[in-house]
Amino acid sequence: MEKDLNERLRKRASQHFLDSIAVKQDAEKVLPDSVALGVLAMVECLRAGGKVMACGNGGSAADAQHFAAEFVGRFERERPELGAIALTTDSSIITAIANDYSYEQIFSKQVRALGQSGDVLLAITTSGSSPNVLAAIQAAHERDMTVVALTGKGGGKMSQALRETDVHICVPHDRTARIQEVHLLAIHCICDGVDA
């Protein structure tokens, strides 16, 4: 019985590896151009003294924090600190806004308070339809900011919310776990590209 269970679990784990590899191979065919555009938008922003603000929910919130850590700290080589803020980390701000206004405004109010013309918003949502991320995009546009969007599942509502000057990195897949794995890879590609 235990040997049977171990074998089933091994096969499941193996299939996850194979599925992840396949999605990344599919993504490699369509995402490098948009990743490069995202890098260029961020480099232009940083060279002008701006900052990148990142937001998302759940696993995407963790990705936003991971991104900010790589920018402010370092990615793979020593270099000056880069301006980045994860809008997912201040529990007092988030809970005050969610309680006094609505959860939908937890990122948009921060973008309006901190965002300036020329800054970049890194908007992360696997579905492309998270209301609070969509509201953050609207606030970023009000502040004349560029949006770099990380989505999947065809882009969801975000496809209509983005402007021609924004960058859409849409993972060609529908499964959340696979999309998140490619999002992390895209974030690392962005960090590497900015450093380069």
User: In the predicted model, is pLDDT for residue 174 greater than 80?
Assistant: yes
Cα separation, 189 vs 134, whole angstroms? 24
Q: pTM (2 decimals)? A: 0.96
pLDDT at residue 2, as a whole number: 80
Cβ neighbours around 89 below 10 Å, total: 13
In this prediction, residue 29 carries a pLDDT of 98
Mean pLDDT, residues 103-119 taken together: 98
Would the pLDDT of 1 be above 80? no
The pLDDT of residue 162 is above 80: yes
Total residues belonging to the chain: 196
Tell me: pLDDT of 185 over 80.
Answer: yes
Name the percent of the chain lying above pLDDT 90.
Answer: 97
| Residue 46 pLDDT | 98
- Burial track 10-21 (b if 16+ CB lie within 10 A, e otherwise): eeeeeeeeeebe
Mean pLDDT of 173-187: 98
Q: Region 144-170: what's the mean pLDDT?
A: 97
The whole-number average pLDDT for the span 159-180 is 97
Place of tokens 């496809």: 159
